[in-house]
């Protein structure tokens, strides 16, 4: 810490506008808990400038830059001079802590170049290798970037990285009256994440028909204006003159914020505008499609209804090519319209509402979640199905495990209500968790042998090498286990990253730390085993033969 004055923290967020808003939502909560801190945001100008009006309400200082700022001179020496000056100026701010919340390459180098006493998030060591020391950043690196098992909102994960304890959220300003208008954002950064125009046309037509008192407003950026005009001029919507308004390309983000402040409902994809709708506490229906992971990025507010497809391939990976986009057809415009009508009429949107108003075929293909704040953060509760899917069962297990292990926070969740089919799948996982437990126990044994040998006055290098080789074989066994039991990747990947970042200056120190990691890993595997066992046991009692897979 500085000798005097507040703790100075640099927050690095070099990714897109949505991530910037989520970062600000986390930092606002941290700042409320730690008002004595001075927080500087470092972000790209192209993403930050449109929401400066909002960022300024959270951060004490904002440094915006673009790559082209460095390339104002013709030679590399001069370009390097520009970047050196940028880093030098940043370091003049004398940060105590640097926190990288963006997890891309450039941010890892920037985080390394900032002089500070504590560095959180991705950075580089002196050999340019990736380093990540704090546990929640290891969690992001292992569980958020590469898998679908993460049960936490990104905003909450950012809070956890910062060390924020309480959930401190915005309150509705009751003096603001919401008009009878619905804001629609039919756009997203990627084709896989957004419905096609026809779907939106059908939804707009039905919304207008079912809610004749409401006006409809399409918002978006300049890049969306052509598509917005195509929607507006679609033959099906030609009779909506005076009821359908296009703001895409003419209203900036600040204007969209104002519009949302006075609107009754927002409907759109998981994108920038959904996060702004959360900031204005506008009741929202968010459609998650393609690569979007609802638990991670659904807008951070308690007034959200998230609708996702129930397809096996959802959510897909960014690199997965998909031309048929089956998940887009799983969500019907009728279902969204019915949910919208319920929200507008201030009805409780719960399982009963969905079952009464949406036909079985349309309900069977979607997962509907409502959001609520709990003491750990934002939680999505599924309301469309009586039983949890296998994936959601594991999300609940991981929620308990990670909160306890990484945050020392106990949360109580009832055993999941599952179908017999899910119980069968879960039963098969018992073997996988058991393998994992044994692998980690072997890890402890081999680490112990290395320690014992290294502590001898004349250690035998061959014994040490032999056990190191066995440890690397355990990593391969973990990979094989992961392939057969993909939902165990949460645990396997976390401890792989944890081990890769084991601190220590020599084999003895590293092995001692590795031993602790294997102890922790086997303990968590044992806890996971118990969860699985208890969840399937009611089904074993009633129908043991069905469990034989």
Partner 1 sequence: MSIQEEIHKAMAEIQQKVNKNEELTTSEMEMLFLSSLIEEEAK
Task: Summarize as ranges the residues that interact with partner 1 (CB under 8 A).
Answer: 14, 67, 70-71, 74-76, 79-80, 83-84, 87, 104-106, 108-110, 112-113, 124, 126-128
The token pair at 141 is 């690196």
DSSP string, 27-62: HHHHHHH-TT-EEEEEEEHHHHGGGHHHHTTT-SEE
Q: Which of 86/442 has CB closer to partner 1?
A: 86
d(C-alpha 11, C-alpha 116), whole Å:
12
Q: Which of 42/260 has CB closer to partner 1?
A: 42
Q: Report CA-CA distances (Å) from 418 to 307, 388, 415, 424.
A: 21, 5, 9, 10
64: exposed, middle or buried (Cβ count in 10 Å: 0-12, 13-18, 19+): middle
Helix or strand holding residue 216 (H, E): strand 215-218
CB 497 within 8 A of CB 142: yes
Q: Which of 87/197 has CB closer to partner 1?
A: 87
CB of 441 to partner 1, least distance (A): 33
Q: Which of 467/501 has CB closer to partner 1?
A: 501
Note the residue count of the chain: 549
User: Which of 133, 226, 157 shows the shortest CA–CA distance to 187?
Assistant: 226
CB of 125 to partner 1, least distance (A): 9
d(C-alpha 18, C-alpha 297), whole Å:
9
Q: Report CA-CA distances (Å) from 299 to 1, 153, 154, 372, 395.
A: 34, 9, 10, 11, 19
CB of 529 to partner 1, least distance (A): 40
Residue indicated by tokens 């469990």: 547
Q: Which of 14/325 has CB closer to partner 1?
A: 14
> What are the phi and psi torsion angles at 545 (to 5°)?
-65, -30
Q: Which of 114/400 has CB closer to partner 1?
A: 114
CB of 151 to partner 1, least distance (A): 29
CB 133 within 8 A of CB 112: no
Q: Which of 121/186 has CB closer to partner 1?
A: 121
CB of 117 to partner 1, least distance (A): 17
Range 311-342 burial, b when 16+ CB lie within 10 A, else e: beebbbeeeeeeeebebbebbbbbbbbbbbbb
Q: Which of 75/457 has CB closer to partner 1?
A: 75
CB of 114 to partner 1, least distance (A): 11
CB of 538 to partner 1, least distance (A): 49
CB of 108 to partner 1, least distance (A): 8
Rg from Cα positions in the chain: 26
Q: Which of 76/549 has CB closer to partner 1?
A: 76
CB of 43 to partner 1, least distance (A): 13
The token pair at 509 is 């120190």
């Amino acid at each position: 810490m500085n000798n005097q004055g507040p703790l100075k923290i640099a927050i690095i967020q070099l990714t897109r506008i949505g991530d910037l808003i989520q970062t600000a939502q986390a930092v606002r909560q941290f700042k409320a808990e730690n008002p004595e801190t001075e927080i500087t945001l470092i972000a790209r100008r192209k993403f930050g400038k449109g929401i400066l009006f909002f960022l300024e309400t959270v951060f004490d200082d904002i440094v915006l830059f673009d790559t082209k700022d460095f390339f104002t001179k013709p030679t590399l020496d001069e370009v390097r001079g520009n970047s050196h000056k940028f880093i030098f100026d940043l370091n003049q701010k004398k940060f105590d802590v640097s926190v990288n919340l963006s997890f891309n390459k450039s941010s890892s180098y920037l985080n390394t170049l900032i002089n500070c006493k504590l560095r959180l998030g991705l950075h580089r060591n002196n050999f340019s290798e990736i380093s990540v020391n704090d546990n929640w950043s290891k969690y992001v690196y292992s569980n958020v970037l590469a898998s679908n098992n993460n049960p936490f909102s990104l905003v909450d994960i950012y809070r956890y990285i910062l060390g924020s304890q309480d959930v401190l959220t915005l309150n509705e300003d009751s003096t603001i009256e919401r008009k009878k208008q619905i804001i629609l954002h039919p756009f997203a950064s990627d084709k896989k994440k957004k419905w096609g125009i026809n779907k939106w046309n059908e939804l707009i037509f039905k919304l207008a028909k079912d809610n004749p008192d409401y006006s409809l407003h399409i918002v978006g950026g300049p890049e969306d204006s052509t598509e917005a005009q195509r929607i507006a001029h679609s033959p099906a919507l030609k009779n909506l003159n005076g009821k359908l308004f296009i703001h895409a390309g003419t209203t900036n983000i600040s204007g969209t914020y104002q519009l949302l402040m006075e609107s009754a409902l927002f409907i759109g994809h998981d994108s920038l505008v959904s996060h702004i709708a959360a900031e204005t506490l506008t009741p929202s229906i968010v459609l998650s499609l393609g690569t979007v992971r609802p638990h991670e990025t659904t807008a951070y507010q308690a007034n959200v209804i998230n609708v996702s497809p129930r397809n096996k391939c959802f959510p897909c990976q960014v690199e997965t090519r998909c031309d048929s986009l089956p998940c887009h057809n799983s969500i019907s415009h009728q279902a969204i319209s019915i949910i919208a009508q319920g929200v507008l009429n201030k009805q409780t949107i719960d399982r009963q509402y969905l079952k009464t108003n949406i036909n079985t075929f349309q309900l069977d293909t979607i997962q509907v979640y409502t959001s609520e704040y709990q003491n750990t953060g934002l939680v999505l509760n599924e309301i469309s199905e009586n039983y949890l899917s296998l994936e959601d069962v594991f999300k609940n297990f991981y929620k308990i495990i990670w909160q306890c292990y990484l945050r020392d926070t106990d949360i109580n969740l009832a055993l999941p209500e599952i179908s017999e089919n899910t119980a069968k799948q879960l039963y098969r996982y018992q073997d996988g968790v058991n393998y994992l437990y044994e692998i980690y126990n072997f890890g402890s044994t081999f680490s112990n042998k290395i320690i014992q040998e290294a502590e001898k006055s004349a250690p035998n290098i061959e014994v040490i090498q032999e056990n190191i080789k066995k440890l690397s074989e355990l990593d391969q066994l973990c990979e094989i286990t992961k392939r057969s039991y993909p939902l165990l990747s949460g645990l396997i990947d976390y401890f792989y990253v944890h081990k890769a970042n084991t601190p220590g200056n020599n084999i003895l120190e590293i092995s001692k730390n590795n031993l602790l990691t294997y102890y922790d890993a086997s303990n968590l595997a044992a806890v996971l085993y118990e969860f699985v066992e208890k969840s399937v046991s009611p089904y074993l009692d009633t129908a043991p033969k069905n469990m034989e897979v």
